[in-house]
């Protein structure tokens, strides 16, 4: 793979079997994500998006095909994950949650504290290091989850509907914070969302998947500049792209519903 490619999936399929029942979640998926690129995946429920992310994270083995992640530094973790439900350790303070990854890699306590405080500051949580998860709102917990993933300094950040459980206003604000993080440090990101406007607002490319078995149906290149801001949402180009993606997605969502049956 070329130097700037961070993740390379080639002909990846994944079939799950439980007893005599087999489910093919993904079929022949090939995808490259370049260094510093932000790629979103949209597709109907059950089309294999989370499975794809788990394959990249090494939590599943592909049934066929290959998944490769290029390492840029020895010892650098390959992936860090942000989930829809924050999944913080309730018995640890916010700072200790964020320090957990670096401490696990044997980073000194002092350095890990610095890393945690820096990432919490980036997400507007500088004052909340000593709080415990139950003392935070849903949006704050998601921000801690993002800070925790960033603190791992991984080759690629995997985000599975990170804003999916939030109200619309909080979600809009967090989209803007994620865009700012991109602008500051250009992490490589694979991002799953059901919200088309979110995918168009944040991404370099949007990958549209088909109903199960999930295949890549279309890849939409967006050429908005990285310096975009909230005003992008009000433009004609933004509306036209979002509408175009929805027209393709609508067929797949209907196909997925038919699979589920009456
Ligand atoms: N560990 C597993 N064992 C068996 N089947 C699984 C497993 N994980 C996922 N599946 C099946 O694979 C298919 C794809 O699931 P996946 O969770 O990847 O979909 P998704 O696109 O993330 O859906 P959603 O948008 O609802 O989150 C589903 O039919 C699901 O039931
Ligand atoms: Mg999922």
Q: Is 260 exposed, middle or buried (0-12, 13-18, 19+ CB in 10 A)?
A: exposed
pLDDT of residue 1: 63
* Minimum CA distance residue for ligand 1 atom 28: 46
Rounded to whole angstroms, the Cα distance separating 232 from 214 reads 30
Looking at the DSSP bridge assignments, the partners of residue 41 are: 192, 207
Interval between CA 27 and ligand 1 midpoint (Å): 13
Question: Which ligand places an atom closest to the C-alpha of 160?
Answer: 2
* Minimum CA distance residue for ligand 1 atom 6: 16
pLDDT of residue 258: 86
Rounded to whole angstroms, the Cα distance separating 116 from 111 reads 9
Domain 5-78+154-260 has CATH 3.40.50.2000: no
pLDDT of residue 64: 97
Q: Is the pLDDT of residue 149 over 90?
A: yes
Question: Which ligand places an atom closest to the C-alpha of 44?
Answer: 1
pLDDT tens-digit profile of 4-21?
Answer: 999 999 999 999 998 889
What is the DSSP annotation of 184-246?
HH---EEEE-S-HHHHHHH-SEEEEEPSSSB-EEEEEE----TT--GGGGGSHHHHHHHHHHH
pLDDT tens-digit profile of 107-127?
Answer: 999 999 999 999 999 999 999
* Minimum CA distance residue for ligand 1 atom 23: 46
Interval between CA 30 and ligand 2 midpoint (Å): 19
pLDDT tens-digit profile of 247-259?
Answer: 999 988 888 888 7
Nearest to 86 by CA among 161, 150, 189, 193: 161
54 lines ligand 1 (CB under 6 A): no
Interval between CA 15 and ligand 1 midpoint (Å): 10
Confidence band for 262, pLDDT divided at 50, 70 and 90: low
Reported in sequence order, the residue ranges of the chain that DSSP labels E, i.e. its strands, are 5-18, 21-34, 38-42, 64-69, 79-82, 156-160, 189-192, 205-209, 216-221
Q: Phi then psi for 160, rounded to 5 degrees?
A: -105, 95
Question: Which ligand places an atom closest to the C-alpha of 252?
Answer: 1
195 lines ligand 1 (CB under 6 A): no
Interval between CA 220 and ligand 1 midpoint (Å): 24
48 lines ligand 1 (CB under 6 A): yes
pLDDT tens-digit profile of 71-120?
Answer: 988 888 999 999 887 689 999 999 999 999 999 988 999 999 999 999 99
Rounded to whole angstroms, the Cα distance separating 191 from 40 reads 5
pLDDT of residue 224: 94
pLDDT of residue 261: 67
pLDDT tens-digit profile of 176-229?
Answer: 999 999 999 999 999 999 999 999 999 999 999 999 899 999 999 999 999 999
* Minimum CA distance residue for ligand 1 atom 4: 16
Classify residue 31 by its DSSP letter.
E
């Amino acid at each position: 793979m070329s130097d700037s490619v961070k993740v390379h999936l080639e002909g990846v399929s994944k079939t799950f079997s439980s007893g005599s029942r087999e489910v093919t979640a993904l079929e022949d998926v090939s995808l490259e994500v370049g260094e510093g690129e932000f790629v979103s995946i949209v597709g109907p429920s059950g089309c294999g998006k989370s499975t794809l992310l788990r394959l990249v994270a090494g939590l599943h083995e592909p049934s066929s095909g290959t998944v490769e992640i290029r390492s840029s530094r020895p010892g650098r973790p390959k992936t860090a994950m942000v989930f829809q439900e924050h999944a913080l350790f309730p018995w640890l303070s916010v700072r200790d949650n964020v320090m957990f990854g670096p401490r696990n890699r044997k980073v000194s306590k002092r350095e890990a504290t610095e890393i945690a405080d820096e990432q919490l500051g980036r997400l507007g949580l500088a004052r909340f290091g000593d709080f415990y998860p139950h003392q935070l709102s849903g949006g704050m917990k998601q921000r801690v989850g993002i800070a925790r993933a960033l603190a791992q300094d991984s080759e690629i950040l995997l985000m599975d509907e990170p804003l999916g459980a939030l109200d619309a206003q909080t979600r809009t604000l967090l989209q803007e914070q994620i865009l700012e993080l991109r602008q500051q440090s250009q992490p490589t990101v694979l991002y799953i969302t059901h919200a088309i406007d979110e995918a168009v607002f944040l991404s370099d490319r949007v990958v549209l998947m088909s109903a199960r078995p999930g295949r890549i149906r279309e890849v939409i290149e967006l050429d908005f500049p990285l310096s975009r801001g909230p005003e992008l949402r009000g433009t004609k180009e933004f509306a036209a792209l979002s509408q175009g993606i929805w027209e393709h997605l609508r067929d797949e969502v209907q196909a997925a519903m038919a699979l589920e049956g009456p």
